[in-house]
Structure 1
Amino acid sequence: MLNTIFKYSNKDDRKTLLIDHRESKFGNQFFKPCLILLTSITVIPLMVIVFQWSLLDDEQNQANAPPATTTNAQWSRGCIRTEDLENTDIFFQLVNNTEWRFKNTTTLMKSNMPPLLNCQDIFSMTDSMRFLTAGWTKLVYQATLAKRKVAIKMVNFEGQMMKNCKAELQSDQHCRQKIAKKFIKEIVALSQFKHPNIIELIGYCIPSDPSSENSIDKLAIVSELGEPLNLFILLQMNWEERLKILYSILKLLEYFSEQPVGGVVLNDLRAQQFVICDKNLKLVDVDDVVPQALQDQISHLKENFQKQNMPSNLLRQFAQKLVHNYSTGQYFKANSSRAEFKRYKNADLPTLFDYPCHDSTTQNSCVLSVANLHEAQSLCTAQTVCKAIVWTNQKTWTGRHVVLFKKNFTQPTYNPNTITFLKVDDNTQSFSEDTSQL
């Protein structure tokens, strides 16, 4: 259940997942979705964040005390407690008396994946490391690994977690142990939870005595590097891209709620993990820019997400129906009075006659996705400025076709991957339909 997943998120600002953002575009005011929780790996390299995991209800798991060693089968039976994620003896074995590595029975890595980087691999990349940001517990660096940019997380000795620990008059050793456990928990979580919307663990370094004064600076996590999902990027997203992120989030929530160890609680809601607007966590508001026929579905989905009164699997199924209706164009009613169009095969109007339009995927041209040709022609008919449609062979993640709308028309350029449709009226000039020689 969503109320279980967010059991530690009792404040209103963590339950209110939707917001309106009013802006002016091309002289008209409209409401545009403001911010989106988490990210979708296929739209923006997502999950720059690393979740701090807490497994649901210690009472539920206390009856299932873990065995001395852990296997995949034991994980799947739900025999792991929150504290176990911090325990090197359960998941790791000491190699060459220098560093802890996963036991073969505890990792869920695919056989065709390269082995995780070890301490030597990681610290051989120090020459390419560039500082990115400092967080509560970690320093984050960018490095290059075989021409691939990766993120390296290391201990932030000046971070807030260390300061808070010392302010409680705890010993340095106790504070180092606290941070080391947090690192180890994160490494285990990233290795065990595999989902397209969770960052990929590329490597890790856990020294033999990770909390010692001489070793804690060697603690490291290497993961794929993502781009922060900031407000500027979100405001440039069209409705379909935001729908993709919403759908990804719901699939992720369902994945968390169905873990064999119990529901996974996200109890660390910081700006680095999530998108924040006005100190409130926001998912998406699509009220005023969705296709009108989808309005009831959107409202129902929003209501259940806000009130957290629908199980996560049903939320995901509901969103899946929404995606299906949008991708197939079932919501769309073709305009019976739409204009006539003349078809030009292998024809294009590159860089010509572009104009901006609402919800375009680009700033200075009108690029939209449509379910079918009827929808494209109806949209062009409804826009007085539109004189032609360029139908491309590109598709969006939902399978919708990418089309360009043009404000004028001339002798087209040959392009085997496009078809141009000219809106026909009394003033339409005739052009050669033979573009094969152009």
Structure 2
Amino acid sequence: MPGIQQMMKRRKTVVAVGLGLSFLLGTVMNLFYIPGFDHHHQARDHGVRFHQERQQQTARDSRLHVGEPVGTESVFAQGGRSDTSETQRDLQLQIRQRFDEVVRYRRHGGSPADPVPPLERRRLMDLEPGERSWNNPAPGSDGTKDRPQIPSSGSLQDFTAALRDSNRTRVPLGCSSLDNVTEVRYLGSGYTKAVYRAALNRSFSVALKSVDFGGHDMESCVRQYGSVGDCYRLASFKLLKEMSLMERLQHPNVLTLYGYCYQETNDIADTVTAITELGRPLEMISLLQTPWEQRFRICLSLVRLLHFLAHSPLGSVSLLDFRPRQFVLVGEELKVTDLDDASTEEVSCTSLTPDRCTITFPARNFSLPCHRGHCEGINEKRNLYNAYRFFFTYLLPHSGPPALRPLLDQIVNATGELNWGIDQTLIQMEKILQLYKTGRYLQNNTHTHTADYRGLLDVSVAGEDYRCWPSYQHDSCLLSVFSLQEAVSVCESHAHCKAFVLTNQTTWTGHRLVCFKSGSSRLSPASGRVTYVRVGS
């Protein structure tokens, strides 16, 4: 018995060690074989190609040729199979439908009947017919003449300006722009795409989006249809749709598409990777703890975005997936990053089918009028109510200036009942912005100062901080004010405040950042700052 017990213990130890080594090996493999990335040394020591082991198999048996003419030899019937089963026909039909949707957005964003020239079907994300791509330059050219250059040093503004100039000739960043990509880091994934952060020339960070082979869409499709190649093709059209919409819907609150990498080599499949502006995820819990001015800016950015989408060149655009995770912050500006679930389709209706114009939400429903065969304003109203329930309710009214709260409550109530459209909502938001920036919200302030304050130029107070909410710094009371009078009013409303320091920093609205202090015993020199110390009760 003791011998058997020792043998069992040894077996358990071996199994535990084996599991540990497997986990370690899997972690290392994930680091070096990120979906869509692999370092290679045959062409360049530090080059990067976008692939995965399963993509190599895809390349051998089913290459993706986005946009070839539809037919038996087309993109919809590749892979070398003669399987014409019902399930395969269903998959090919889905691919065709997604393909046609992308073509419509590339051309006009209009009806399914829009004609598409054969040349454009060849490669949806290529340059216009007759233009040369970077990876296929004109004979005798090195392909670098019109290529936007990645600066070895410089600002984001300079880089964006170069891209803007290059986009006038429809030449985006391409695969060659990723030759020196470094610091590749996985950020996250959804149903379809995986997102990575990377640095170009070690000086400029971008986001790289590619189809996630381990994502829900790919796994469920392969499980149902058994074809990695066709399932990749189906999923890739969602990424191509998003890229097309980024091109067509250029706006300060839409993430910028810098370019794309579309590989065609013998050892990897035709996999597409989008190169976009990099933002940071929207964390609602953190936003609830930020000052009102920052939260108002996010809501204003969202309203400006929805106003643009309601009147876009493609028509009224609905964001069918409106969760906060579909947005990012670039600087402090809100931008929509996921557009693969956006739609310009308007619901058709008749006087006999009024139910088609009902918008259903978890908490309540809304019935819209049927006007000229379509549900009037359904895309706009869906966006606006989602903005109310995901953003306005939590971010807009809380801790706002007392004089502005009635206006803020009015916006929340009107959008929550869909009494306003996006035009009226934008007018009211811009009105609040002007009242706040100009200080007119303080005109009816009847506060009477109860103490005198002595000003000390080029002086600050070391330490002696106390916490207040919401503050720009969690370990102190740092707030924004329009004027000295407002700073005095804030100080006298805080029981702990005995002094405050006017900094030389301003917010996006021009308000001055002021640090409120619990005492003034530790004065210290500070160029550009002014300290006010309470001298009366």
Asked if the contact 2:184–2:199 (Cα under 8 Å) also holds between the matched residues in 1, the reply is: yes
Q: For 1:263, which of 316, 324, 343 is the aligned residue? A: 316
Q: Which residue pairs with 2:390 in the alignment?
A: 282
Distance in 2 (alpha carbons) for counterparts of 1:230 and 1:388: 33
Change (3 A) 1:292 1:135: same
Aligned to 1:302: 412
Give the deviation of 1:173 after TM superposition: 4.4
Corresponding residue for 2:289? 236
Is residue 422 of structure 2 the alignment partner of residue 312 of structure 1?
yes
Q: Given the alignment, which residue of 401, 416, 437 partners 2:527?
A: 416
What amino acid is the match of 2:164? K
Q: CA deviation at 1:245?
A: 0.4
1:341-420 alignment runs, 5 A limit: 341-349=453-461, 351-410=462-521, 412-420=523-531
Aligned residues: 350
Moved more, 230-239 or 314-323: 230-239
How far is the alpha carbon of 1:396 from its aligned partner? 1.0
Give the aligned residue type for 2:391. Answer: L
Structure-1 separation of matches of 2:467 and 2:175: 52
What is the aligned counterpart of 1:327 among 428, 433, 437?
A: 437
In 1, the alpha carbon distance for the partners of 2:513 and 2:134 equals 57
Offset of residue 322 of structure 1:
1.2
Counterparts of 1:70 and 1:291, CA distance in 2? 58
Aligned partner of 1:79 in structure 2 is none
Unaligned runs of 5+ in 1: 1-51, 72-83, 427-438
Q: After superposition, what is the alpha-carbon deviation per residue over 1:16-53, rounded to whole angstroms, capped at 9, x for unaligned?
A: xxxxxxxxxxxxxxxxxxxxxxxxxxxxxxxxxxxx99
Alignment of 1:62 with 2:111, yes or no, is yes
Give the AA of the match of 2:249. F
Q: Distance in 2 between matches of 1:412 and 1:113?
A: 54
Structure with more contact order per residue of length (Cα contacts < 8 Å, sep ≥ 6): 1
- When the two structures are superposed, what TM-score results if normalisation uses the length of structure 2? 0.57
Residues 288, 190 of structure 1: alpha-carbon distance in 2 compared, 3 angstrom cutoff: closer
Identity %: 28
Write the distance in 1 (CA, Å) between the matches of 2:397 and 2:300: 16
Partner of 2:187: 132
Structure 1 contact 334–374 (Cα < 8 Å) conserved: no
- Determine the C-alpha separation between the residues in 2 that align with 1:416 and 1:358: 27
Question: Against the structure 1 CA distance between its residues 364 and 160, is the aligned structure 2 distance closer, same or farther, given a 3 Å change threshold?
Answer: same
Among 148, 155, 162, the residue aligned to 2:218: 162
Matching of residue 291 in structure 1 with residue 401 in structure 2: yes
Q: CA deviation at 1:195?
A: 2.0
**Letter of the aligned partner of 2:303 in structure 1?**
L
Q: Provide the residue aligned with 2:173 in structure 1.
A: 117
Q: Whole-Å Cα distance in 2 between the matches of residues 182 and 290 of structure 1?
A: 40
Deviation of residue 149 (structure 1)? 2.1
Question: Which sits farther off after the overlay, 182-191 or 285-294?
Answer: 285-294
Q: Distance in 1 between matches of 2:181 and 2:512?
A: 45
Distance of 2:427 and 2:188 partners within structure 1: 37
Letter in 2 for 1:250: V
Tell me the distance in 1 between the aligned counterparts of 2:302 and 2:135.
39
Aligned to 1:22: none
Distance 2:498 2:428 in 1: 37
Letter in 1 for 2:464: F
User: Highest Rg: 1 or 2?
Assistant: 2
* Structure 2 segments unaligned to the other structure (5+ residues): 1-97, 138-142, 147-160, 329-361, 364-385
1:16 corresponds to which residue?
Answer: none
Alpha-carbon offset, residue 415 of structure 1: 2.4
Name the residue aligned to 1:199.
255
Please give the secondary structure, in 2, of the residue aligned with 1:152. Answer: strand
When you count helix as a share of all residues, which structure comes out higher?
A: 2
**Which residue in 2 is equivalent to 1:10?**
none
Task: Quickly say closer, same or farther: Cα 1:189–1:287, change in 2 above 3 A.
Answer: closer
Equivalent residue number for residue 215 of structure 1: 269
TM-score, L = length of structure 1: 0.69
